[in-house]
Amino acid sequence: MPDPVRLSHRVSELFGLSRAEAEQFIENGWVSVDGQVIEMPHHKVTVERVELDPNARREAVEPATILLHKPAGINAIYGDKSAITLVTPATRWADDPSGERLLRRHFHRLTSPVPMDVEASGLLVLTQDGRVWRRLTEDAGLIEHEYVVEISGEIAPDGLDRLNHGLSFNGRTLPPCKVSWQNETRLRFAIKGVQDGQLRDMCTQVGLTLVSIRRLRIGKVALGKGPNGAMPAGMWRYLPVGEKF
């Protein structure tokens, strides 16, 4: 049996590429070894079947933005049970409409630019893309978020009007937002610049107890629906290229 060699060396030999070109093709997920995509140029091979995808392109792979349906009780980015640990190849939503190729490099250095309470569920953004990070942080006060809030208790007589405009939080008057009844126990909030704990406090000020929070939308990007319904909790999809918040 021949001595093991780096995959990049074998790809360079087989397909007449420079070492740098071979490494780029491998890192971009275009090379398979015995039918399995390998993204590590230093992976060692001997007699295995090495193939280069006929659709391989030399363009750099764009950084990924992942849209996760975060379950309640999961921290967005910290701790052993953080939301990032839920993002694996096995938990990609089967109805993901993006068409993006799944690459293991997409799971590295993900950060969350939009805060989310541990108790909340729904849309959480995890990104590698500095452009997305800047949009969601620098323009946070301009981007509308949509929530469904389950409540209990009796709302004050003028409570709905005050939720829309007339409350304060952390010593500042809140700007107008859009709050309406979805049914007898659920309110829909369309609100900009929301802070941690703000929705609970707003409900408390009008006599309601907040039971649960679910974020449905950030800007123009929604949680996602497919042929089999909404994306389930604990699953994720890619933000398609060209889709903006």
The CATH number for 107's domain is 3.30.70.580
Domain with residue 37: its CATH number is 3.10.290.10
The vertex-85 CA angle with 93 and 239, nearest 5°, equals 40
Q: Which ranges in 91-197 belong to alpha helices (H)?
A: 130-138, 159-164
Do 189 and 212 lie in a common domain? yes
In-domain check, residue 57: no
Do 131 and 158 lie in a common domain? no
Do 74 and 120 lie in a common domain? yes
The residues near 70 (Cβ < 8 Å, ≥ 6 apart) are 76, 83, 86, 116, 120, 121, 122, 123, 124, 233
Q: How far is Cα 227 from Cα 221, in angstroms, rounded to an integer? A: 18
Predicted pLDDT of residue 241: 82
In-domain check, residue 190: yes
In-domain check, residue 245: no
Do 34 and 47 lie in a common domain? yes
What residues make up the domain containing 27?
5-52
The 3-state DSSP class for residue 193 equals: coil
Q: How far is Cα 22 from Cα 165, in angstroms, rounded to an integer? A: 59
Structure tokens at 161: 């009007």
Do 24 and 134 lie in a common domain? no
The amino acid that residue 214 corresponds to is R
pTM for the model: 0.84
Is residue 56 a contact partner of residue 50, using CB atoms and an 8 Å limit?
no
Predicted pLDDT of residue 93: 97
Predicted pLDDT of residue 79: 65
Predicted pLDDT of residue 11: 86
Do 72 and 14 lie in a common domain? no
Do 179 and 214 lie in a common domain? yes
Do 73 and 128 lie in a common domain? yes
In-domain check, residue 113: yes
Q: How far is Cα 245 from Cα 235, in angstroms, rounded to an integer? A: 20
Q: Which ranges in 99-197 belong to alpha helices (H)?
A: 130-138, 159-164
Structure tokens at 185: 């126990």
Show pLDDT as tens, one digit a residue, over the chain (245 residues).
778 889 888 888 888 888 888 888 888 888 888 988 888 888 898 888 989 888 888 877 789 999 999 999 998 777 667 898 999 999 999 999 998 889 988 998 899 999 888 889 999 999 999 999 999 999 998 999 999 999 999 999 999 999 999 999 999 999 999 999 999 999 999 999 888 899 999 999 999 999 999 999 999 999 988 898 999 999 999 999 888 99
